Each structure stands twice: as structure tokens, then as C-alpha cells.
Amino acid sequence: MSGPILEVRNLRTYLKTVRGTAWAVDGVNFTVEAGKTRAIVGESGCGKSITALSIMQLLPEPAGFVDSGQVLLDGKDLLDLTWNQMRDYRGRDLAMIFQEPMTSLNPVFTIGNQVAESVIAHGGTKAHGRTRALELLDRVGIEDPHRVLRQYPHELSGGMRQRVMIAIALANNPKVLIADEPTTALDVTVQAQILSLMREIQTEMGMAILLITHDLGVVAEMADDVSVMYAGMVMEDAPVREIFHNPQHPYTRDLLESLPSRQSRGKDLAVIEGSVPSATHWPKGCRYANRCRFRIDACEAAVPPLFVRGASEARCIRLDEIAEKGNTAATRIPGESGKGVVA
């Protein structure tokens, strides 16, 4: 269990919009180690879902295109594959689950039908599909799988539907599971069950997870490595402990400080002023510069590369200076912040 199973190199994806070409993903790099979880975290519109869809080659048509870059699964570049070849990979080596299980499931087919379909689509017989479906539903913790096989999506609760989605994703023992906001639509207690299930299955099957989320609590619970995305770029890439205990990029710091908690009661929360620049007209320099409290003129000259600091990499030219200042002026005690953090 070593070495990356999935590697994304210099991925650039654009969307054609009425206001021009939007570079939704603009030079993204990261790796997912076999059996580990990489979280991509960021606020809405930062490009995290488009990154996931680019990997799966399920970009919205006809607007979305991968411009350049590589998506290496086990060393093989998925972007070189034809549509038909990619179909074989999807659902077999790479599987994906989405936020809203109701819209991802087909309302007119039974659950059994849809779980079996993913087995049959990759060469299994009908009989094998049925037995495997039963096995999978049982595996994702559905009580009375015989009954659920015959039910339709609308008869199930949100948590149950997400379990079914996971069952479908697991049908062919994928190497990588891409989970795009898998628990955002669920209640906290159900979220806790789904996250535990994902973790359990990962340990058992050894698959890697690429977890797309806006929820820093989910990141802290699940991730091994984290990419913090902002405005189409990875701003910081670090092991999960570093992100929470030793954030480097000003954006990561601001994000953590804006979380409400018991400790901040009676005080104002940190606020990120201004707004995200437009994807059709990215600024020339650092994309966070217009909102950054550490901004200097040099920040706006060019997009900063990722600088290494300890185990972290961050896209900031003042990384070392800020780290020294930040540690003395830290207002937030790591590990003692609030619970239930929803970004």
C-alpha cells in the first residue's frame, strides 16, 4: 500500500459560459495514495466538483472541456482513452457517489435492478448480478436486503438511498471511490453512519477515496491528505493534521477562524471580506490577494507557485514570514475549536 493510485497533474478544465470561458479548474495537482483518503475542500464555486467530474470525464455537456493535464490511474492516463474505453473504467476502477442520491437513482427501476446493472454492465451475468446485489446491500448495512431489492428509490429515506449509491459504487471493487459531498443532504446522525460505513469499507477493501466536501468537520474526521481549493487552484496541500493544527496559507487560516464555536461566543467571528474573483477573468497574481490580510504589492505580480514548508505546500509568497508572525499572533488554539463545523 504505497505510492499514488490516482495522480492528477496540471489539470485545466474550462466551461463555456455566456460571459466567456470560465477556467473552473486551473492547473490542479494532487495524488491519492492507495487505501488512503484525500479530501478536496473549498467553498462553493472553487472548482472542486468540476475537478471530480473531469477525472470521471462526466463534465456537463456541451459546456465543459478538459483543456490539458493528466489523470493517471495506476500510471495510465485516463484522458488518452476513448469514450468507450473510459466507459469500462467508470464503475469498475473508478466509482463515484453524489450529494443527492434521489437524483442519481432512477425512479422507475427497482433498487435491485440498479445495483445489479453495475455488475452486468461490466460483464457479469444476470444471476450473478442478483446475488451480488443482495450481498452488496447487506454489506452497506441495509436491514432486510431482500425487501429493499424490490423497492423503488422513493420508498427509501435519504440515508438509505446513499447506502444504495455506495452499494452500486462498490459493485466492482473500485480502486478509487470519488465521493462528491456524500453527506451534505443528510442529518448529522445519518451523516455519522455513512462516514463510518465509508471508513469501514475502505479498511476492508483497501480502496482509495477522493472526498469532495465543503465541511471541515468531515475533512477532519475522514481525510489523510487535504487539498484546499480556491478559485480553481489548490492553495494548500498538506496532511490533515497540518491543515488543522498548523495551517499555512492565509486562506486556510481564515477559513478555520471563521468557524463558529463555544470559544468564540460573545466575540465577532473572523470574516473574509470581498468576494471570489470571476472565473472568466482571473487576476494575474494570487487569486486570494484581494481578500488577504497579508497582501503586499508583489502578491499581484504573478500566480505564486506552491512553496514547501515542513510537510505542507502552499501557494503564497509570504509563507515563511506569515508562519513566524502567525504563530505568535495565533488567536485560535488548535484542537480546542468548536464542534459540528459546517462550511
Partner 1 sequence: MSAILQIENLRKEFGARGFLKKSAPKLAVDDVSFEVQEGQTLALVGESGSGKSTVGLMALGLLAPTSGKVIFDGKSVTDLNSTERLALRRKIQVVFQDPYGSLNGRMTIREALTEGMMIHRLGANTREREERAAHLLADVGMEPEVLNRYPHEFSGGQRQRVAIARALSVEPKFMVLDEPTSALDVSVQSQVLNLLRRLQRERSLSFLFITHNLAVVEYMADTVCVMSQGKIVERGSVEKIFDTPEQDYTRKLLSSIPSTDPDARRLTPAKS
Which residues lie near partner 1 (CB under 8 A)? 43-44, 187-189, 191-192, 195-196, 199, 202-203, 214-218, 220-223, 240-241, 244-245, 254-256, 258-262, 264-265, 268-272, 275, 334-343
In the complex, least distance from residue 338 CB atom to partner 1, rounded to whole angstroms = 5
Q: Which is nearer to partner 1, 3 or 334 (CB)?
A: 334
Q: Which is nearer to partner 1, 188 or 296 (CB)?
A: 188
Please return the burial class of 281, using the count of CB atoms within 10 Å of its CB with bins 0-12, 13-18 and 19+: exposed
In the complex, least distance from residue 325 CB atom to partner 1, rounded to whole angstroms = 21
Task: Return the C-alpha cell found at 216.
Answer: 471541515
Q: Which is nearer to partner 1, 173 or 203 (CB)?
A: 203
Helix, strand, coil fractions of the chain, as percent rounded to 5: 35, 25, 40
Q: Which is nearer to partner 1, 8 or 223 (CB)?
A: 223
Task: Return the C-alpha cell found at 32.
Answer: 491519492
In the complex, least distance from residue 247 CB atom to partner 1, rounded to whole angstroms = 12
In the complex, least distance from residue 167 CB atom to partner 1, rounded to whole angstroms = 19
d(CA 226, CA 102): 28
Q: Which is nearer to partner 1, 203 or 331 (CB)?
A: 203
d(CA 243, CA 238): 6
In the complex, least distance from residue 233 CB atom to partner 1, rounded to whole angstroms = 17
d(CA 20, CA 15): 8
Torsion sign (Cα): 134, 136, 139, 142: negative
